[in-house]
């Protein structure tokens, strides 16, 4: 287990650090079978975890598949083949009922998730094809994915870079290297609208790097040029109307929305808390290293931020409410 240390300079949080005993190969639990495409830069967007923390969904494989890993068994329990190219991003909804994947083949796929062996009439959704990996059903307690996609979303002209799900608002969002954000309906798979920033004409090759959505219905989109010299953070309404824009000083690596707040972590190791309506800066916090990803703990009591130095910073959510 990792240890933890408090930050005397910052009373609002603490960080985890890796236990030295974990350097022993015999005590390390690794998940095998992940053959990543060498051309893909691995990031948190290639992985998605279930909300109970027991299942990991993994993309980035050279064969365009999505792997489903059961953490307690440290093994792969399902492999999903539908995409024609490498899967670049994944997202799971808050109820662990939907999985969305985006790929270099410019498409997105929406999958149904369910508990393994949960059906009263027999095995769960994996029984559609009979078995999981290795000729066995996924173990009890894990999640399994129906190998028959619910919908396949089209509309991008370049590889998909990020995806996001909001089942409460019936929205499946996808961003692409072509600078567009497409929104489809989760219920019927119909195309709803596209978001194109008003700064699009002034940017040379904008790419949608990050997507976030708040429960208030605001959509946050972070655009960045492939050269990295120009970047914009834009806020849209749930109907696709452009509301606010901000040019960050440093490239943003992670972004998450919570209520009426938008949290961003940049390459300089700065955590910024803004009002999502208007993007007014409320507070800033300097961490020890840049943040590669952020996620709220159940109940939104703490914010967990993974750092490039291998540590995990844990920040008390009271810091945001006091801001």
Indicate the SS3 state at residue 318.
Answer: helix
pLDDT in tens, 97-114: 999 999 999 999 999 998
pTM above 0.75, yes or no: yes
| Tokens at 133, concatenated | 């990996």
Tell whether 144 is covered by a domain.
yes
In the prediction, which pLDDT does 255 show?
94
* pLDDT over 80 at 15, yes or no: no
For residues 180 and 205, which has the higher predicted lDDT (pLDDT)? 180
Tell whether 272 is covered by a domain.
no
pLDDT in tens, 124-173: 444 333 345 554 556 666 788 999 999 999 999 999 999 999 999 999 99
Q: Cα(58)–Cα(127) distance, rounded to whole angstroms?
A: 21
| Residue 131 structural domain | 34-156
In the prediction, which pLDDT does 29 show?
60
pLDDT in tens, 211-260: 998 878 899 999 988 776 788 999 999 999 999 999 999 999 999 988 88
Domain of residue 132, CATH code: 2.130.10.10
Tell whether 230 is covered by a domain.
no
Tell whether 170 is covered by a domain.
no
Tell whether 62 is covered by a domain.
yes
The percent helix, strand, coil of the chain (3-state, each to 5) is 10, 45, 45
Tell whether 270 is covered by a domain.
no
Among candidate residues 153, 174, 149, the one with its CA nearest the CA of residue 164: 174
Domain count, the chain: 1
Tell whether 20 is covered by a domain.
no
């Amino acid at each position: 287990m990792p240890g933890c240390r408090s930050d005397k300079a910052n009373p609002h949080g603490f960080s985890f650090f890796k236990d030295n005993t974990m350097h022993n190969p015999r005590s390390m639990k690794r998940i095998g079978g992940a053959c990543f495409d060498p051309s893909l830069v691995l990031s948190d967007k290639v992985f998605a975890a279930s909300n109970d923390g027991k299942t990991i969904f993994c993309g980035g494989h050279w064969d365009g598949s999505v792997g489903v890993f059961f953490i307690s068994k440290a093994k792969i329990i399902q492999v999903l083949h539908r995409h024609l190219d490498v899967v670049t991003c994944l997202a799971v909804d808050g109820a662990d009922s939907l999985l969305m994947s985006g790929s270099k083949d410019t498409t997105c796929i929406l999958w149904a998730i369910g508990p393994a062996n949960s059906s009263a009439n027999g095995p769960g959704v994996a029984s559609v094809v009979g078995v999981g990996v290795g000729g066995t059903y996924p173990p009890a307690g894990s999640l399994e994915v129906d190998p028959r996609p619910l919908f396949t979303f089209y509309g991008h002209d370049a590889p998909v870079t990020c995806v996001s799900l909001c089942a409460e608002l019936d929205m499946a969002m996808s961003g692409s290297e072509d600078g567009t954000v497409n929104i489809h309906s989760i219920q019927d798979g119909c195309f709803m609208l596209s978001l194109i920033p008003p700064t699009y004409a002034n940017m040379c090759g904008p790419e949608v790097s990050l997507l976030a959505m708040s429960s208030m219905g605001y959509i946050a989109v972070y655009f960045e040029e492939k050269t990295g010299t120009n970047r914009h953070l834009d806020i849209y309404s749930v109907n696709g109307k452009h509301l606010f824009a901000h040019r960050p000083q440093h490239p943003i690596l992670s972004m998450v929305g919570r209520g009426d707040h938008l949290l961003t972590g940049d390459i300089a190791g700065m955590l910024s808390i803004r009002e999502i309506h208007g993007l007014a800066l409320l507070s800033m916090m300097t961490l020890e290293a840049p943040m590669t990803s952020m996620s709220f703990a159940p109940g939104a009591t703490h914010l967990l931020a993974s750092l490039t130095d291998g540590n995990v910073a844990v920040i008390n959510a009271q810091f945001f409410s006091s801001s």
